[in-house]
C-alpha cells in the first residue's frame, strides 16, 4: 500500500524557519519524483515544487512565487523527502502536502498533510 | 505563473449534469495534454479524478469526464450525486516545467 506521512508541522513565529518531512512507503521511492503542495485555510491549492531522482542529479523545480522561500531535498536511504521553509510569513500558514505520481498505477498519492501555523 | 481560471461556484440538482471550466493559456492548458482534476472534501487529501485531460484513475466513477478545447479544459459530472458536493481544482503542466492549479470551484448539490 502506498503511504506518504508528513511530519514536522508546528507553530512558528514570523521570520522563522521550519523543516517538514514526508516519509514514503509502498513504492520505489528512489525512482519517483516527489512534489510538495500547500493549501491555506479557505484558499486554493498551490504547487510548491518538486525534486527528481538521483540519475538526473536530483533536479529541483519551484513555482515562480515559491523560489527563495522553499528548498526541497530528499534522502533516498530513508525514503524521505523534505521541505525546508524560511523567512516565514503569516501568509505561509497552510497545510502542506507531499505527493507522488505513480505511472505504473496511473494515479497519484497524497499524504494527510502537515499543518504549519505562522503567528506571533 | 498565474493560477488557472475557474468559476468560483457551480450548483446542480441530483441527476443533472454540470461542467466546470478551467482556462489557462498556450503556455499551460493549451500547450500540453497534462491537465488533471482533483476533488477535495473538507479535511481530506485531494483525490485525483481525471488526468491527461480525459483519463480516469482506476476506481474513479465514469460519471466524471474531462475534455479540452484550446486553452480551456473542462470537467463534466453527469448524474450528480449528493456525495459529489466538494471543491474541484484543475492542474496543468506548464512551459516552465512547473505545475499550476486553478483557483478552485465549489460544487453545491441542491
pLDDT of B73 reads 98
Closest CA to B2 of B32, B22, B16, B19: B22
- How much is the average pLDDT of B94-103? 96
Indicate the pLDDT class of residue A68, thresholds 50, 70 and 90. confident
Q: How far is B14 from chain A (nearest CA, A)?
A: 26
- What Å distances lie between residue A20 and A12, A54, A73, B79, CA to CA? 12, 21, 10, 41
Whether B1 and A64 lie within 8 Å, measured CB to CB: yes
The pLDDT value given to residue B2: 77
pLDDT of residue B1: 64
How far from each other are the two terminal CA atoms of chain B, in whole angstroms?
35
pLDDT at A64 over 90: no
pLDDT at A102 over 70: yes
Higher-pLDDT residue of A68, B61: B61
Sort out which chain A residues have CB atoms less than 8 A from B58's CB and list them.
105-107
Q: Do B98 and A64 touch (CB under 8 A)?
A: yes
Task: Output the pLDDT for position A25.
Answer: 97
Amino acid at each position: 500500500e502506498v503511504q506518504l506521512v508528513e511530519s514536522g508541522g508546528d507553530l512558528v513565529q514570523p521570520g522563522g524557519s521550519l523543516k517538514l518531512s514526508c516519509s514514503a512507503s509502498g513504492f520505489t521511492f528512489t525512482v519517483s519524483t516527489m512534489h510538495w503542495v500547500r493549501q491555506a485555510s479557505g484558499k486554493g491549492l498551490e504547487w510548491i515544487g518538486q525534486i527528481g531522482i538521483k540519475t538526473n542529479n536530483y533536479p529541483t523545480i519551484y513555482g515562480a512565487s515559491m523560489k527563495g522561500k522553499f528548498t526541497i531535498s530528499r534522502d533516498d536511504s530513508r525514503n524521505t523527502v523534505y521541505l525546508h521553509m524560511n523567512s516565514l510569513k503569516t501568509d505561509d500558514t497552510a497545510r502542506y502536502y507531499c505527493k507522488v505520481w505513480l505511472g505504473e498505477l496511473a494515479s497519484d498519492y497524497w499524504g494527510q498533510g502537515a499543518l504549519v501555523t505562522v503567528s506571533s | 505563473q498565474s493560477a488557472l481560471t475557474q468559476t468560483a461556484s457551480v450548483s446542480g440538482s441530483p441527476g443533472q449534469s454540470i461542467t466546470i471550466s478551467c482556462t489557462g493559456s498556450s503556455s499551460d492548458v493549451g500547450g500540453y495534454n497534462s491537465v488533471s482534476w482533483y476533488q477535495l472534501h473538507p479535511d481530506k487529501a485531494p483525490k485525483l479524478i481525471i488526468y491527461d485531460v480525459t483519463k480516469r484513475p482506476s476506481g474513479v466513477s465514469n460519471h466524471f469526464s474531462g475534455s479540452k478545447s484550446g486553452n480551456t479544459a473542462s470537467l463534466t459530472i453527469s448524474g450528480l450525486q449528493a456525495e459529489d458536493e466538494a471543491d474541484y481544482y484543475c492542474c496543468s503542466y506548464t512551459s516552465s516545467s512547473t505545475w499550476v492549479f486553478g483557483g478552485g470551484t465549489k460544487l453545491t448539490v441542491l
